[in-house]
Amino acid sequence: MSNNTLDKINLVKSSSQIDNPLRDCHSRNGQLIDAEIARDRGFLYGDGVFTTMLYKNGQYFFQKEHWQRLVHDAHRLRIQPISLTTFCELPQNLFKNVSQQDFVVRTSLTRSEGRGYRGEIDSMPQIYCSLFPYSAWPEHLRVKVCHSRLSRNPQLAGIKHLNRLEQILATQELDPCFDEGILMDTKGFVIEGTFSNLIWYANKQFFSPKLDYAGVNGIAKVSLLKALRQKGHVIVESQFDLKEIVNCEALWMCNSVRGIKAVISLENLSSAERCECNTTEFQSRQFTEHHLTAMLKILWQELASKEPEDFTDK
């Protein structure tokens, strides 16, 4: 056998030895990293769901509701859910690493590993749990109407999935003077805040957007509206233009970590599409303190401080 032939054989062998490892070789900023992390479908495609829960004064807030929402959203995406026992045990291993008493627990569920859009439906999910410092909202919110729009997709509406690009783009519009931003969909209907839900009051009724085409069904919103109905208040959920908010008596924003707060200033109205306000050249709307704000705060405190049930997996 000639030397040229041997050289070609050695070259093929050498190429083969290099090719095999490269199929599972990954780096971050030039440094090799664990293939398991780099191949996670949550990282690659946003193929997963998450929930964010408050732990304060030695107590989880809405723990069962967060687990139920995680299971519901996982079913919607055909991701295998996790048990309540697993959900409750996940943060325990992290507690010893934190010194503060109040923090936020984020639990994420992804559809395991694998490239390609066709993921394995029956695969065991990957479960991530993280603790973050808790920061409270100010008592009154200054809010801007964002230029960014939410796409309308009934398949994903209501789900807290991992793809939050629309919220990221909207948040980039907010100057430090704003506490939150209001998002509309591509048809101009009011949907939610960048990380909260909306409730407002007008004509002796409470209103909130119906999230059939976009948005996240937040636990705070669902819990508050349910409690208000039980107290006999009229609740209207539908599709609303921005003018409904501009002309309302009071506006609040809520999420399960930061509670419910009143909006005192709504800015950037003139740039919003389909806004037919009662005042010409309406740039902003200022809200005065409404007597219902105190009632809603008390109601929220009652819901948040409710003793956890003795619940089991169902």
- Tell me: the pLDDT tens digits for 48-103? 999 999 999 888 999 999 999 999 999 999 999 999 999 999 888 888 777 777 89
Average pLDDT over residues 256-261: 96
Residue 122: what pLDDT? 75
pLDDT tens profile 158-178: 999 999 999 999 999 999 999
Provide the pLDDT confidence category of residue 272 given band limits of 50, 70 and 90.
low
Residue 17: what pLDDT? 45
Residue 14: what pLDDT? 43
For the cut 90, the answer to whether the pLDDT of residue 7 exceeds it is: no
Average pLDDT over residues 182-200: 97
Residue 114: what pLDDT? 79
Residue 4: what pLDDT? 56
Average pLDDT, the chain: 87
Radius of gyration over alpha carbons of the chain, in Å?
A: 24
pLDDT tens profile 202-229: 999 999 999 999 999 999 999 999 999 9
How far apart are alpha carbons 192 and 28 in whole angstroms?
Answer: 35
Question: Which domains occur in the chain, in start order?
Answer: 41-133 (3.30.470.10), 140-303 (3.20.10.10)
pTM for the whole structure: 0.85
Residue 314: what pLDDT? 39
- Lowest mean pLDDT across 16-30, 82-96, 254-268: 16-30
Residue 217: what pLDDT? 95
